Structures are given as structure tokens and as C-alpha cells.
A = this chain, B = another copy of it.
Amino acid sequence: MDRLVLHEDPVSGNCYKIRLTAALLGLPLERRSYDIRKGETRTDAFLSEVNANGRIPVLQVGERFLPESNAACFYLADGSPLIPQERFARADMLRWMFFEQYNHEPNVATLRFWIAFVGEDSLSEAQRVQFPARRAAGEAALALMDEHLATRPFFVGETITLADIALYAYTHVAEDGGFRLAEYPSVTAWLERVAKVPDFVAMEETSPVILAKARVD
């Protein structure tokens, strides 16, 4: 395989998905860090060379660049047991990955960013107005996951797939965004199962607000 370089911000759950996928597959991954809060993904060099969308993560494969975390995970895992062989199961895995980007990330990850990185006192008026709807939509996403996981060990089939990796990334830090994981016992049990998969790696970084709180406590 070509040389793999992950262009990332270490505090981003979307970047962590790719590191976790590579770890489970035993693939070597070089890492290049950018601080999104300092605009480091909006420079001319980044926009012209890495991603015209100004976003991370981007997976570099040799001289080619692949944005979108879930697409990068699919590239790494293509042909591996992390993607089901059976046709319906493969599409069902993608179903949960699209659910993650549409119903879960814009709510669960966004509230984490607003609370733990921006800070509740610093939110804009537009953010404040959207807050209750995003809270409700995030809770609905977690409740749907909890119902699904009540009768299954993983999202699709009997073993871990990319659907679990995609949803694990922001769910396991959902309490940073004020969600109460104790209310979702099947989700909590599933988080523990994922963390016990061989070669699992943790998301290293904690938010600056949480670190600041920890220093105060």
C-alpha cells in the first residue's frame, strides 16, 4: 500500500476514527497535526494542497488526498473483516455511517465542541438558538442506538465493523457535550465492548476547557 499520512487535529473525533481503523488493521499511519481553532486548515497551502473544503481529517494516500472521515476509514478497511462481505450487511454498515454524519455528529459532536471547546458563555446568538434542538436530536440519536444495541453486540453482525468505529468516536465522549450516557445502558455496554477489541487505541486528547476544569478541581 502507498504511504499513508493522516492530516488531523488530535482533539477531533472524526480524526480519531481513522487512527482507530488503522490501529485495528495494523496499518502504519504518519500523522500531521493542525489546530482548527487557529485557522491552520484555512491557509492557502492547506486549501490548495490538502483539501479545498478547508476541513480535516484528510487521509493522504501516496500523492492523493481523501477527505471525509468515513470515506477514509472505508479506504483503509476495504477488503478487511471491518467491512462485511454480505451485500445487505455491507449496505447496512454504510447506513449507520451515514446516520452518524447526518443525525449524530451534527448534534452530539457539535454540542461537545460548543460546551467543551467554545465554552457555553462564549456561544453566538445563532448557536444559542439552535442549542435545544441539537440537544433533542442528539438524545434521539443516542436513544435510537440504544434500542438497536439492546439485542445486538455490535451495529451490524456479530463483530466490530466501521459502523461501530464511526459511532464510537463521538459517543464515548458525549458527556463532554452534556449528554448522560448512563441513560443509555445498551450504548454503555457497547462502548465497553468496543474498547476491549484487540489492538484498540484510545483517543488521547482532552478538550482545553475540560483540562482547565480539571486543573481547577
Contact = CB atoms under 8 A, between A and B. Distances in A.
A130 interface: yes
Contacts of A91: 66, 71-72, 74-75, 78
A188 interface: no
Given A66-B95, A68-B102, A71-B98, 10 more contacts: A53-B144, A71-B91, A71-B95, A72-B95, A75-B87, A75-B88, A75-B91, A79-B87, A98-B98, A98-B101
A217 to B, nearest CB: 35
A207 interface: no
Nearest to A140: B53
A216 interface: no
A175 interface: no
B53 A99 contact: yes
A92 B70 CA distance: 11
Chief secondary structure at chain A's binding surface: helix
B68 A94 contact: yes
Interface in A54-110: 61, 64, 66-72, 74-75, 78-79, 87-88, 90-92, 94-95, 97-99, 101-103, 105-106
A164 to B, nearest CB: 16
Contacts of A69: 98
A127 to B, nearest CB: 10
Contacts of A75: 87-88, 90-91
Nearest to A59: B91
Contact of A129 (B53, B90, B129): B129
A133 interface: yes
23 contacts: A52-B147, A52-B148, A64-B88, A66-B92, A67-B95, A68-B94, A68-B102, A71-B92, A71-B97, A71-B98, A74-B90, A74-B91, A74-B94, A94-B94, A98-B98, A101-B101, A101-B102, A102-B105, A106-B106, A126-B130, A126-B133, A129-B129, A130-B130
